[in-house]
Structure 1
Amino acid sequence: MKKTISALLAAATVAGSLVAVAPAAKADGGRIAAGVAGGLIGGALLGGAIAASRPAPAYGYGYAPAPVYVEPECRVVRQRVWDEYRGVWRSRPVEVCD
């Protein structure tokens, strides 16, 4: 809500300054109108980019949070299995999840 109000206030300030400084209306081949339209479009693009930017991360007292280490829930173990075709015990990797 604070950003919206700030953006509207900034837009109103820019629009007010354009109206207060604008000279008497003359056609001049549309040069003034093109300049005003270009300025408004450029300002809208720049204002939108600033409003959409992410704020810097805010950590307490200037320190980043401590890293957290989490043990994986699954692990790979070697399991002995009987090989019917060859008639021998073999080992193979098996994923075990707790």
Structure 2
Amino acid sequence: MKKTVTVLLAAATIAGSLVGVAPAAKADGGRIAAGVAGGLIGGALLGGAIAASRPAYAAPAPVYVEEPDCHWVRERFWDDYAGVWRSRRVRVCD
């Protein structure tokens, strides 16, 4: 519905601008009127097709990854520089 209203509003705006700037009326066998009408109809069709088209790229659906169970443990290690045993916390995942 919103797209239809937008297309109709655009067509009305173009038609209003053409009426406001139209030169003195000359028949010329109806060639000008046919050109204006064809342009308005073609523009409305093209605008409607563009407005109704799908976007060029659609993002993929989100994927949820379950992380493994992890826990922290204290680990002892030998520090050669200080010459002592030290401990550190290490994350362990199953």
Q: TM-score normalised to the size of structure 1?
A: 0.51
1:35-50 alignment, distance < 5 Å: 35-50=35-50
Task: Name the CA shift for 1:44/1:5 in 2 (closer, same or farther; >3 Å).
Answer: closer
Task: Name the CA shift for 1:12/1:38 in 2 (closer, same or farther; >3 Å).
Answer: same
Root-mean-square deviation (CA, aligned residues, Å) is 2.5
CA distance in 2, matches of 1:24, 1:47: 29
Gaps of 5+ in 2: 64-94
Q: Which has the larger radius of gyration?
A: 2
Q: TM-score normalised to the size of structure 2?
A: 0.53
Structure 2 residue aligned with 1:32? 32
Structure 2 residue aligned with 1:85? none
Q: Does the aligned pair in 1 maintain the 2:11–2:40 contact within 8 Å?
A: no
Gaps of 5+ in 1: 68-98
CA distance in 2, matches of 1:4, 1:48: 7
What amino acid maps onto 2:46 in structure 1? Answer: L
Listed one character per residue, the Cα deviations across residues 18-46 of structure 1 (whole Å, up to 9, x for unaligned) are 11111121111222112112211211221
Deviates most, 21-30 or 47-56: 47-56
Task: Name the CA shift for 1:41/1:7 in 2 (closer, same or farther; >3 Å).
Answer: closer
Structure 1 residue ranges, 4+ long, deviating more than 6 angstroms after superposition: none
Structure 2 residue aligned with 1:65? 61
